[in-house]
């Protein structure tokens, strides 16, 4: 998918997230926000799979397991959702691990658990190894 389309898709996910947070505010469990964001993306005609399995391979190509993306949007963007006071380095590391393992280029870390929604975008090709 071209960069412009990825950027537009990220903007749509952000807009849907902001509107969901405006409606629900903070205080719900993560699954409520996952279901709500999936629903709002569906209404926009954006394909998103919940708890989508993505394989993790060892360096020799051996399948060592799967992780489950909260939302995998149009087979291009991993969305990791949180419902906590603030995101931590561990949350960032989790998303970066998902991006590396699945060779996905773009990820969004969205925290619905604070009074002000937190959304951060990560790009795999800009991560120093």
pLDDT given at position 101: 87
Top CATH class, 3-126: alpha beta
What's the rounded Cα separation, in Å, for the pair 17 and 111?
10
Every domain of the chain and the residues it spans = 3-126
What's the rounded Cα separation, in Å, for the pair 116 and 21?
8
pLDDT along the chain (129 residues), means of 10: 96 98 98 98 98 91 94 98 98 95 94 98 73
Residue 119, beta-bridge partner list: 110
pLDDT given at position 126: 55
How do beta strands 106-111 and 77-82 pair? Answer: parallel
């Amino acid at each position: 998918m071209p960069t412009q389309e990825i950027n537009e898709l990220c903007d749509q996910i952000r807009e849907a997230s902001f509107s969901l947070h405006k409606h629900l505010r903070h205080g719900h469990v993560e699954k409520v926000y996952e279901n709500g964001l999936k629903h709002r993306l569906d209404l926009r005609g954006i394909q998103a799979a919940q708890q989508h399995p993505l394989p993790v391979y060892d360096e020799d190509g051996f399948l060592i397991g799967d992780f489950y993306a909260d939302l995998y949007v149009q087979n291009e963007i991993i969305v990791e959702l949180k419902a906590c006071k603030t995101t931590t380095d561990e949350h960032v590391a989790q998303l970066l691990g998902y991006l590396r393992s699945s060779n996905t280029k773009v990820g969004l870390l969205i925290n619905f658990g604070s009074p002000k929604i937190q959304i951060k975008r990560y790009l795999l090709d800009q991560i120093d190894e």
